[in-house]
Amino acid sequence: MWNPPKRKCLHQVWMAHGVFEKGNESMSPVIKPATIEGNGDLELSVQEHLISQPLAEVGIRNSGKSYQAGKICEQLCEIKQPFIVIDPEGEYWTLKERYPVIVAAVGKPVGRPKGYKADLTVTSDNAPLLAKRVVEKGYSLVLDLRNATLAESYAALANFLESLYQAEGQHNRPFVLIMEEAHVLVPEVGRVRLKEIRDAQNKVIYWTWEIAARGRHRGLGYVCIARRAAEVAKAVLSQCPTRVIFKLVDPADLSWLRESGLTKEQIDAIQVLPQGKALVLGIADTPLCIASKERVCTHGGKTPIAMAVETPELEHAIADLSKVLKAPPVSAEVPEETLKRLEALEAERKQLLGRVQSLESQLSEAKESSLALSVEAERLRTRVRELESQVLTAEERTRLTTRIQTLEGQIGELQGQLTETQKVAMEFEEKFEKIRELWGDWTDLILETADYLGLELIPKDVKALQDELTQTKAKVEIYEREERLKQELLEQTLQDPNIRSWIRDAEAFLQELKRRGDAGRAVLTAALRMDPEVSFLPSEIQTGYTESTNRQYLSTFESKGLLWRTSKAGRTAYRNRFHQWVTENMRKIKPGAPDGAIEEIADRLKRSVIGG
């Protein structure tokens, strides 16, 4: 039986490629591209923050996001972690000042700064070969799209990303893909009209999503850098739980920040962030305020501060890739005899393929028949065992036969007695029926006589009690009928497909809120435990977290409709409106939903959050 090869974990692969030093096998490589205000360095684990979970950097032009990304590249070089930069603006070639990074340009470089040098020229045809070789050897690469047309960029990038993803599936080498200008390369709304370019763009978006969503299983990380969160494909950006937010001012981007759980104060602060400072989400329970560290290489299109670094290893890598990209195509001239032989082999291949498919179909049918026969055989074996356990010996058969005959005789006697008893019962029934008729007649006669003579046979107070009892019984019957109707309406409401669908959606929504870290779960649980009639301040709920953290999450839950915003002692306070939230949504679906159904659903949803 064939056993598939076991895929190595990232730690084993890092060890195999020399990323770890001896003695540090249990640690993931860490980079420190920024400082946390008043709290040391920002530490990013390559495995946890760049590969296992994609990272996004978002900010307006000149906010410092590309500078920060360049610092990440420098520190990846320092720990010998290979990476690939998709560089539409041609800003990352200056990494060559100090590090052995290969620059591959799509299109002919013109109008570039002094000192610029592209090591390789890439087209849509050889881009797959480049990606495959880079993964095989572990080279760090800058794919420069600055001088490429839109058609050239998308055609080359689509083939490059597809080959990169497939090559990582074979080699599982830890790699970090950094995509600049993601709002242009993978837009939420494409504005390209030419079908050929639009198809290539869709292919780029698809493979980018594959890398962001599933690349971690192959050791391939993803870093998304964009000016506008609202313009990046949501399918791609939603895969990035770690987010570095530089200055943002557009209303659509600010709305995205609110959806990410930031408070109004934090959003206001983001709108006035100075260059190089950002807010980091997804690493700690609360956002971290960071400042970028100074780069060692020139940033962007500025004149480089030194000659590009040249090492034997880099020269060898460039020569290796040049050889791969410039390999001559296989000659298309094939002898006629060979062509005929190929045609015959192709016809034979198709015939054999058809035969194989037929045999596979027969084999599948045979397996199904074999399985059915196995099940039937097992059933028959079980039945045989049951019958064997029921087989009687000759002595037992004789004893049971005698007992059966005895019982049959007793049954005959009892049947005779039963017949006689039935006759006597019928006679008594006839006599009783006559007595009942006579009694009814006498009762009517006595009552009529008493009424005529003015005699009180039944006291008035007893008769009043009888009348009251009759009325009470009627009221009970009406009440029971109404309760049955209410219960039926409640059951119909709970079984309504639309109501059940909303309940599932509501449970998923509440569970998603609980997954916003331990602090978010604690604040939500505490808020839903509060009396709906009582206003409370963020400092008055017992969560174990700071008042600021409580206020941040309470504001988020208020925006979702779970809380009311009120005031208390001149300060912003909140009230629990969870039951009202359930009622409003239920009434939208079924206006006549009974209160009992709403109470039951609200209680069920509340228990799913706070337990009990």
**Residue 331: its pLDDT value, please?**
44
Phi-psi region of 107 (alpha: psi -120 to 50; beta: other; left: phi over 0): left
Cα dihedral across residues 295, 301, 303, 307: positive or negative: positive
Give the Cα separation of 121 and 143 in Å (integer): 10
Q: Which domains does the chain have, with CATH numbers?
A: 10-325 (3.40.50.300), 496-610 (1.10.10)
Give the Cα separation of 90 and 117 in Å (integer): 11
Using one digit for the tens of pLDDT, what is the confidence trace for 365-374? 888 877 888 7
Cα dihedral across residues 578, 581, 583, 589: positive or negative: negative
Residues with Cβ < 8 Å from 437, sequence gap 6 or more?
none
**Residue 328: its pLDDT value, please?**
52
**Residue 248: its pLDDT value, please?**
93
CA proximity to 261, closest of 573, 498, 513: 513
Q: One-letter amino acid identity for 356?
A: V
CB atoms within 10 A of CB 525: 16
Q: One-letter amino acid identity for 607?
A: R
Contact 208, 97 (CB under 8 A): no
**Residue 3: its pLDDT value, please?**
43
**Residue 36: its pLDDT value, please?**
92
b/e map 325-364, b = 16+ CB within 10 Å: beeeeeeeeeeeeeeeeeeeeeeeeeeeeeeeeeeeeeee
**Residue 457: its pLDDT value, please?**
62
| 8-state DSSP, 50 | I
224: helix, coil or strand?
strand
**Residue 330: its pLDDT value, please?**
41
Give the Cα separation of 221 and 216 in Å (integer): 6
Strand partners, 242: 55
* DSSP-assigned letters across all residues of 556-578: HHHHTTSEEEEEETTEEEEEE-H
Using one digit for the tens of pLDDT, what is the confidence trace for 219-235? 999 999 999 998 999 98
CA proximity to 180, closest of 289, 84, 276, 248: 84
CB atoms within 10 A of CB 569: 7
With 0-12 / 13-18 / 19 or more C-beta atoms within 10 angstroms meaning exposed / middle / buried, residue 165 is buried
Contact 59, 278 (CB under 8 A): yes
Query: CA of 295: how far to CAs of 74, 75, 87, 277, in Å?
Result: 8, 10, 18, 14
Contact 159, 127 (CB under 8 A): yes
CB atoms within 10 A of CB 250: 15
The strand pair at 120-122 and 175-179 is best described as unpaired
491: helix, coil or strand?
helix
This prediction's pTM: 0.52
Residues with Cβ < 8 Å from 398, sequence gap 6 or more?
none
Contact 493, 597 (CB under 8 A): yes
**Residue 440: its pLDDT value, please?**
63
pLDDT lower than 50: segments of the chain: 1-11, 13, 17-26, 303, 329-332
**Residue 24: its pLDDT value, please?**
47
Token pair for residue 280?
């980091």
Give the Cα separation of 578 and 223 in Å (integer): 39
Torsion angle of the four alpha carbons 576, 577, 582, 585, in this order, in degrees rounded to the nearest 10: -150
373: helix, coil or strand?
helix
> Residue 244: in which H helix or E strand, if any?
strand 242-245
Number of H helices, E strands in the chain: 18, 14
Listed in order, strand segments (DSSP E) in 398-501 are: none
CA proximity to 283, closest of 50, 512, 109, 502: 50
